[in-house]
Amino acid sequence: MRAYLGAIWDSRFFWLSLVRMDLRSRYRGSVLGILWSLLHPIAMTAILCVVFSCVFGQDLRIYAPLVFTGLTFWGFFAASVVQGCNCFFQGESYIRQYPAPMAIYPLRNVLGAAFHFMIGLGLAIAIGLLVGPDINRNPDATRLHQLSALPSLLPTCILLLLFGWGLSILFGLLSVRFRDTRHLTEIGLQGLFYLTPIMYRIDAFKAFKDKQWMAQLLLCNPLGSFLDLIREPILMGRIPSLTSYVTAGSVVLVLTIMAMIALRIEERRLIFHL
How confident is the model over 2-41, as pLDDT tens digits?
888 888 888 888 888 888 888 888 777 666 667 777 788 8
Residue 141 pLDDT exceeds 80: no
Residues 183-204 pLDDT 10s? 899 999 998 998 888 888 777 6
Residue 139 pLDDT exceeds 80: no
Whole-number Å distance between alpha carbons of 220 and 64? 25
Decide if 111 contacts 19 (C-beta within 8 A).
yes
Q: Mean pLDDT, the chain, as a whole number?
A: 85
- pLDDT band at residue 134, thresholds of 50, 70 and 90? confident
Instruction: State whether the Cα torsion 10-78-68-19 is positive or negative.
Output: positive
Decide if 220 contacts 195 (C-beta within 8 A).
no
Q: What is the DSSP letter of 34?
A: G
Residue 74 pLDDT exceeds 80: yes
Q: Is 133 exposed, middle or buried (0-12, 13-18, 19+ CB in 10 A)?
A: buried
Of all helices (H) and strands (E), which one includes residue 77? helix 60-85
